[in-house]
Amino acid sequence: MDIKAEFINLAVDDGSSMRSYVARPAGKARAGLIVFPEIFGINSHIRSVTERFGREGYLAIAPELPTAVPLFASVNETAWNAESLPLY
């Protein structure tokens, strides 16, 4: 199914905005759902998951959660992978 995927800015009650990635199906959406990002925010993986839901007919949105950005803004995404995690 064809989709339209793009970044948008949502208005927040405090007057700020929240960057979000949305995927809309070409036809009428079956339902809407929220894709919660991992600690790295809206990366290529989260965009791909959001787009897959869009292709399945859902209106999918992934909001850039405020806590995901400041805590890990200096962490390189490629530095965090399964091989770098300690084994206990």
Three-state DSSP at 21 gives strand
* Model pLDDT for residues 2-59, shown as the tens digit of each residue: 999 999 999 888 888 899 999 999 999 999 999 999 888 899 999 999 999 999 999 9
Model confidence band, residue 76 (pLDDT cutoffs 50, 70, 90): low
pLDDT at 70: 47
Give the length of the chain.
88
pLDDT given at position 73: 47
Q: Which fold has domain 3-84?
A: Rossmann fold (3.40.50)
Domain locations along the chain: 3-84
Q: For residue 82, what pLDDT is reported?
A: 53
How many angstroms separate the CA atoms of 2 and 81, rounded?
A: 32
80 has pLDDT over 90: no
H or E element: which one contains 70?
helix 68-72
